[in-house]
A and B are shown apart, each in its own frame.
Chain A
Amino acid sequence: EDQVTQSPEALRLQEGESSSLNCSYTVSGLRGLFWYRQDPGKGPEFLFTLYSAGEEKEKERLKATLTKKESFLHITAPKPEDSATYLCAVLGDTGFQKLVFGTGTRLLVSP
C-alpha cells in the first residue's frame, strides 16, 4: 500500500529563517511526487511535480528535491505570505491517477 508521511506536522519560522519540510514515501512504482500548497478554506494549489531521484525544481523561494525514499521542500528566506499548509502526494502504478496524500505540514512565518 502506498504511504506518505510528512514532517514536521507544524513549523514556525521567523521571516528570513530558512528551513526544510520532509515527505517520506513508500510507493509501488513511483510515477510522480507532487507538492501542493493549501491556504485555509481553499483547495490545494499545485507547486511541483518530481519524477525521478535526483530531480530538483525551483519556484521563487521554494525548492523541491527527490530521492528514492523522500522529498524535501526547502524554503529559503521565507516571508509571511509563505504561511500555508504544504501537502505532498505520490502517484504510483497501482490505481489509475490515484494520488496518495500526506497529512501536510502547517507552516507559519512570523514577521
Chain B
Amino acid sequence: EAQVTQNPRYLITVTGKKLTVTCSQNMNHEYMSWYRQDPGLGLRQIYYSMNVEVTDKGDVPEGYKVSRKEKRNFPLILESPSPNQTSLYFCASSLPTGGYVTQYFGPGTRLTVL
C-alpha cells in the first residue's frame, strides 16, 4: 500500500530535550516536506527536500533541522524543543512531475512540549 508513515504519532516531552520525528514514504517520491498545523493558522511549511541531500527552508524553519540521506526518509529534528513548538506535525511527499503535483500526507505527529 502506498503510504507516508510517521513516528511517533504522539509525543510529550520537556523543554530542551532533543527529539526526532521520523517520516518514511514507499512511493519513490523525490519531494518531501514537513508542515505544522496550529489552530487558526492552517498548515505551514517548515522544511522541504527536492531530493537526497537537497533541503531548503519553508515559512517557519526556526528551531527545526532536517536531513535527507535516503530517498524514502526525511526526519524532523528538534535540537532544543520549546513550548511554542507544541503542534500537530505532518510529513508529505510527491513526485515533482512537470510541476503539477499532488502531495500525499502522513497521519500526523502530535507533539507537546512542557
Contacts and interface: CB of A to CB of B under 8 A. Distances in A.
Report, as a range, how many residues of chain A touch the other chain.
20 to 34
B86 to A, nearest CB: 16
A42 B102 contact: no
Contacts of A41: 108, 110
Interface in B48-74: 48, 50, 56, 58
Contacts, number: 59
B102 A46 contact: yes
A33 to B, nearest CB: 11
Interface stretch (A10-18, A54-62, A65-73, A95-103): A95-103
Nearest to A98: B45
Interface residues of B, number: 27
Interface in A44-87: 44-46, 49, 51, 87
Contact of B102 (A34, A103, A104): A34
A49 B100 CA distance: 9
A31 B31 contact: no
B108 A43 contact: yes
A31 B90 contact: no
15 contacts: A4-B42, A34-B103, A36-B105, A41-B108, A41-B110, A43-B90, A43-B107, A46-B103, A49-B100, A87-B42, A97-B101, A97-B103, A98-B58, A103-B42, A104-B42
Interface of A: 4, 31-32, 34, 36, 41-46, 49, 51, 87, 89, 91, 96-99, 101-104
